[in-house]
C-alpha cells in the first residue's frame, strides 16, 4: 500500500510504501530485500524516477 503523506520536518509531499503483512509472514526475507532496494535507489538521480528519502522497519506492536 502506498500513502500520500506530508513530511512534517521538511513540509514536502512524500509517498510512504507499506509492505503487505501477509506477504511478509510468508517471506520474511522480503523486508530485508525491500530495504536493500531502497538503499540502492537512494543512489539514483533521474528526473523520471522518484527520489528515495529513507527506508525503515517498524516493528509490529503487540496488543495485550
Element (H, E) at 15: strand 13-17
Reported as a single tens digit per residue, the pLDDT across 6-40 is 999 999 999 988 888 888 888 989 988 988 988 89
Task: Look at the pTM and tell me if it is higher than 0.85.
Answer: no
Which range among 7-11, 47-51, 55-59 shows the weakest confidence by mean pLDDT?
55-59
Given this model, what pLDDT does residue 28 score?
83
Residue 61, pLDDT above cutoff 70: no
Phi and psi angles of residue 2, each rounded to the nearest 5 degrees, phi first = -120, 130
Element (H, E) at 11: none
> What SS3 state is found at 18?
coil
pLDDT-based confidence at residue 64 (cuts at 50, 70, 90):
low
Amino acid at each position: 500500500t502506498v500513502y500520500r503523506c506530508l513530511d512534517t520536518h521538511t513540509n514536502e509531499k512524500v509517498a510512504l510504501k507499506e509492505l503487505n503483512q501477509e506477504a511478509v509472514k510468508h517471506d520474511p526475507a522480503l523486508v530485508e530485500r525491500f530495504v536493500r532496494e531502497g538503499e540502492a535507489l537512494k543512489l539514483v538521480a533521474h528526473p523520471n524516477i522518484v527520489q528515495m528519502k529513507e527506508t525503515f522497519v517498524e516493528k509490529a506492536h503487540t496488543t495485550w
